Amino acid sequence: MLQQLFSPSVQHTLDLVGIFVFAISGALLAVRKNFDVFGIAVLAEVTALGGGLIRDLIIGAVPPAAFTDLGYFVTPLLAALLVFFLHPQVERIQTGVNVFDAAGLGLFCVTGTTKAYEYGLGLTASACLGLATAVGGGVLRDVLANEVPSLLRWDRDLYAVPATVGAAMVALCIRWDALTPLTSGLAVVTAFVLRLLAMRFHWRAPRAWNRRSTVREEEHLPV
């Protein structure tokens, strides 16, 4: 069994914080799309739990944690309730929400990779599932909201790349038998800082070389 970055109680608390922030992003998109209260709750749940659910189903960790821990299920509902009543105020602190979202991204890409490896997957597959844990909920959110997933759009600041770096760091540490709470924490911080820098300096992935696209380019409000 790989070493845990935090004690089980601290890990659980951090998971709930990450789930809460992810759920807020889903609920805010639902409000922008003019969804009703049920739609807001669904989008909050999917955004918060979708990545972990995909990971657990693939590795055979069933029933998934989202269905065995009441806190995991209730936390997104609390976030949806908050956004339902106070979405103008939540929108005003979007920058703060984005910072916590970046922290959740860093945490989940690392814990997702570690859990996948513990269930017998290879290093590459584990890193891919670490990435899926971190960004899967956001992809499902966008699909349900009839949006092109942010993960695939050139006009969004880097999101998957920081998670990929964090997951790859964990996989390399496992490969060289160097995965400790310290190196795991370093991977979390690296993904977190890369995401913050991407938001600060608007780093984006390159598009096709010498492309000749007929699609009209336009900027979109951040989701």
| DSSP letter string, the chain | -PPPSS-HHHHHHHHHHHHHHHHHHHHHHHHHTT--HHHHHHHHHHHHHHHHHHHHHHHT--S-HHHH-HHHHHHHHHHHHHHHHHHHHHHHTHHHHHHHHHHHHHHHHHHHHHHHHHTT--HHHHHHHHHHHHHHHHHHHHHHTT---GGG-TTS---HHHHHHHHHHHHHHHHTT---HHHHHHHHHHHHHHHHHHHHHT------TT----SPP------
* 196 falls within a domain: yes
- Which pLDDT belongs to residue 108? 95
The per-residue pLDDT for 1 is 44
Quote the number of domains for the chain: 1
pLDDT at 20: 95
Q: Which domain holds residue 46?
A: 8-201
Q: What is the pLDDT of residue 220?
A: 47
Nearest alpha carbon to residue 82 among 28, 14, 33: 28
In the chain, what percentage of residues exceed pLDDT 70? 92
157 has a pLDDT exceeding 70: yes
Q: What is the pLDDT of residue 221?
A: 44
Q: What percent of the chain has pLDDT over 90?
A: 78
User: Span 32-58, mean pLDDT?
Assistant: 96
Q: Is residue 215 part of a domain?
A: no
pLDDT, the chain, mean: 91
171-210 pLDDT per residue, tens: 999 999 999 989 999 999 999 999 999 999 999 988 888 7
Is residue 92 in a domain? yes
Return the higher-pLDDT residue of 218 and 192.
192
Give a yes or no: residue 28 inside a domain.
yes
In sequence order, the 6+-apart residues with CB closer than 8 A to the CB of 163 are 105, 106, 108, 109, 130, 131, 134, 135, 191, 195
What's the CA gap between 26 and 88, in Å, rounded?
A: 15
Distance CA 164, CA 1 (A): 23
Specify if 75 maps to a domain: yes
Residue that wins the pLDDT comparison between 216 and 159: 159
Q: Decide if 222 is inside a domain.
A: no
Query: For residue 213, what pLDDT is reported?
Result: 62
206 assigned to some structural domain: no
Asked whether residue 214 is domain-assigned, the answer is no
